[in-house]
Amino acid sequence: MSAARHPAPAIARAFAPATVANVGCGFDILGFAVAAPGDEVIARRCETPSVTIACITGDGGQLPREASANTAGAAALALLAHLGDPTGIELELHKHMPLGSGLGSSAASAVAAVVAVNALLGKPLARNELLPFALAGERVSCGPGAVHADNVAPALLGGFVLVRGYAPLDVVPLPAPDGLYCALALPDLEVRTLDARSILPRSIPLRDAVTQWGNVAGLVAGLLLADHALIARSLRDVVVEPVRATLIPGFDEVKRAALAAGALGCGISGACPTMFALSDAEATAARAGAAMRAAFLAEGVDCALYISGVNRAGAQVLPPDAK
């Protein structure tokens, strides 16, 4: 159902968080949002019809400035086309996370764009109705054959999200226990999602499939039952991780360090190279994160670190002058 129209402001600003897609075993079907980092988009009305990218910061000049080729621009264009709205809109995109890091950078930009544009237009759509347009933006960065919703859905909705199916898109927000914390270790490497997908197997042995769907079901059940031990047993990926781990120097050492520090589980965030560790307390997450960072540094790889609770709020409209 569409939301009731609100008064349309002259400017709207939105934040969308980074996300941990896959959550180990749930390739392309599970993800969760973290509190930080995240991207911001500011949308303004302008005389020029359609969507214009006025400026991008934080991307080192790497992202396309052409709206239709940019995830934020393409998402905004898809939303305007759906609404049949002729308003000319100018976007500022402020990136606060590295590209190609496995944190759902393109998804955060696309989600922040649709949330900002929807707010600028007086919120004609409810939040969950924005998902297909954010996904249209994501498609620009990953290509039509590789589109996945396990970043955009949690970036938009917050919390843990299951993508039950793609045809049609069926997204299920999952309750999760309070007090889960995530350590994100971002090694100073860039891996393009397309490259990280191109190395994946096209078929898998049935016994691996059985292990994998047991873990996916176990993880979902563990979240619903608030069963930390079950979550820990299920945070295992026998399909994608063994292949992508080869792209991350020190993967085994980093994972061992996180588990030794008490994390429930540790794996690859999204398409890599960021590694995540989930813990049942903030202090444990901080210990796990420090141990992961030390393990990367011992490999000669510099590493940034974020410790964050699970972000249940998802994307947010911000006051235009928020710091």
Q: Would you count residue 37 as binding ligand HSE (CB under 6 A)?
A: no
Closest C-alpha among 304, 296, 295, 261 to residue 281: 261
Q: Is 146 exposed, middle or buried (0-12, 13-18, 19+ CB in 10 A)?
A: middle
Least Å distance, CB 259 to ligand HSE, is 21
Q: Would you count residue 204 as binding ligand HSE (CB under 6 A)?
A: no
Q: Is 170 exposed, middle or buried (0-12, 13-18, 19+ CB in 10 A)?
A: exposed
Q: Would you count residue 270 as binding ligand HSE (CB under 6 A)?
A: yes
Least Å distance, CB 282 to ligand HSE, is 25
How far, in Å, are 111, 175, 253 from residue 74 at the CA level?
Answer: 11, 31, 40
Q: Would you count residue 105 as binding ligand HSE (CB under 6 A)?
A: no
Segment 129-188, which members bind ligand HSE (CB under 6 A)? 148, 150-151
Total residues binding ligand HSE (CB under 6 A) = 13
**Nearer residue to ligand HSE within complex by CB, 239 or 318:** 239
Segment 2-21, which members bind ligand HSE (CB under 6 A)? 21
Q: What is the DSSP letter of 185?
A: E
Q: Would you count residue 22 as binding ligand HSE (CB under 6 A)?
A: yes
Q: Which residues are catalytic?
A: 138, 193
Q: Would you count residue 271 as binding ligand HSE (CB under 6 A)?
A: yes
| Residue 274 in tokens | 């960021």
**Nearer residue to ligand HSE within complex by CB, 28 or 227:** 28
Task: Tell me how far apart the alpha carbons of residues 41 and 13 are, in angstroms, rounded to a whole number.
Answer: 6
Segment 291-320, which members bind ligand HSE (CB under 6 A)? none
Residue nearest to ligand HSE (CB): 270
**Nearer residue to ligand HSE within complex by CB, 27 or 296:** 27
- Per DSSP, the three-state class of 303 is strand
| Residue 288 in tokens | 């796990």
| Residue 267 in tokens | 């794996």
Closest C-alpha among 27, 19, 29 to residue 242: 27
Give the interface with ligand HSE as residue ranges (CB under 6 A).
21-22, 27-28, 104, 148, 150-151, 193, 196-197, 270-271
